[in-house]
Chain A
Amino acid sequence: MTENDKASSRPTVADRSSLAAIEVDHLVKVYKQTRAVDDISFSLPRGSITGLLGGNGAGKTTTIAMIMGLVLPTSGRVRVLGHRMPEESAAVLGRMNFESPYVDMPMRLTVRQNLTVFGKLYAVKNLSDRIAKLADDLDLTDFIDRANGKLSAGQKTRVALAKALINQPELLLLDEPTASLDPDTADWVRAHLERYRKANNATILLASHNMLEVERLCDRVIIMKRGRIEDDDTPEAIMARYNRTTLEEVFLDVARGRVNGVRQEAAR
Chain B
Amino acid sequence: MDYGNEVGKILENIEKVMIGKEREVTLSLVALLADGHVLLEDVPGVGKTMMVRALSKSLNCDFKRIQFTPDLLPSDVTGVSIYNPKEMVFEFRSGPIFGDIVLADEINRTSPKTQSALLEAMEEMNVTVDGMTKSLQKPFFVMATQNPVDYEGTYPLPEAQLDRFLMKLSMGYPNEADELEMLNRTDREHPIDEIEAVINKEQLLNMQKEVDSLYVDNTVKRYIVQLVSETRKSPYVQLGVSPRGSISLMKAAKAYAYIQKRDYVIPDDIVYLAPYVLSHRVILRPEARYEGVTQSSLITRILEEIDVPVRKELHG
| A and B part of one assembly | no
